[in-house]
Structure 1
């Protein structure tokens, strides 16, 4: 249960960081800024959905939880790589990596 809570907390932090990063960027037409904005929005949505799955104790089976965690981990790592190339987004990239790591840790408890 502690791993589940830690994962949900990391997903919440990541969702907040990604949503904030996306909202800071204007749609100025540059490809990189648009990529950062899109990745931020996607990552926030996936992390939010993962939190909902983790909070629904009995309604999602272990295979469904595992699939959601793997999707979240993948999106977080992709977002972190994009944020790494954007000035001032280091903390957001770190939040994404922390979320990916906690998802990995929680997946290992499901074995």
Structure 2
């Protein structure tokens, strides 16, 4: 089942150069309120923007996973090769998008390894989503699924830009 970004708190897991200091200020380790050492309005705005971008990406991944799972369920499992390709692509995209949403929704400890893992997951999700969009473009009635895949790929690209 696709992850629900509303179900868990989306928190900073390392960010790009302008946001890195704000996100690494211990956001995951504090209680209510702002992270320690994030006192300037600019730092707070950068942190809020980072969290909003992360949430938007998780939401796009959830929507893509939902659409792809639906598309896969509509394809005949023992049909022609094209039907089987659509079904397998839908399942793969749903699983990758769900995993990406889970990574983005977790409260991670901050570190270079975590940031690299998030970046790798986003890049993989973007690639699979674009590939899926191309597969679904060839199918009549799959326009909505292809659009969700493209929106997911775009959200992954946008969030990757904040990490750079």
- TM bracket, shorter-chain basis: over 0.9
The correspondence for 1:74, drawn from 127, 133, 138, is 127
Q: Secondary structure at the match of 1:28?
A: coil
| TM-score, normalization by structure 2 | 0.66
- Separation in 1, partners of 2:89, 2:158: 23
- Separation in 2, partners of 1:29, 1:63: 40
Report the counterpart of residue 147 of structure 2 in structure 1.
Answer: 94
Residues matched between the structures, number: 111
- In our comparison, the structure showing a higher alpha carbon Rg is 2
RMSD (Å) for aligned C-alpha atoms: 1.0
- Separation in 1, partners of 2:76, 2:108: 41
Q: Counting helix residues as a fraction of each chain, which structure ranks higher?
A: 1
Q: For structure 2, which runs of at least 5 residues remain unmatched after alignment?
A: 1-50
**After superposition, what is the alpha-carbon deviation per residue over 1:33-59, rounded to whole angstroms, capped at 9, x for unaligned?**
100000000000000000110011214
Say whether 1:14 aligns with 2:59. Answer: no
**After superposition, what is the alpha-carbon deviation per residue over 1:46-80, rounded to whole angstroms, capped at 9, x for unaligned?**
00000110011214711000000000000000000
Runs of 4 or more consecutive aligned structure 1 residues displaced over 4 Å after TM superposition? none
Q: How does 1:6-85 map to 2 (within 5 A)?
A: 6-59=56-109, 61-85=114-138
- Separation in 1, partners of 2:77, 2:99: 25
Report the counterpart of residue 109 of structure 1 in structure 2.
Answer: 162
Q: For structure 1, which runs of at least 5 residues remain unmatched after alignment?
A: none
- Separation in 2, partners of 1:62, 1:9: 19
User: How many Å apart are 1:28 and its aligned residue?
Assistant: 3.4
- Separation in 2, partners of 1:37, 1:2: 32
| TM-score, normalization by structure 1 | 0.96
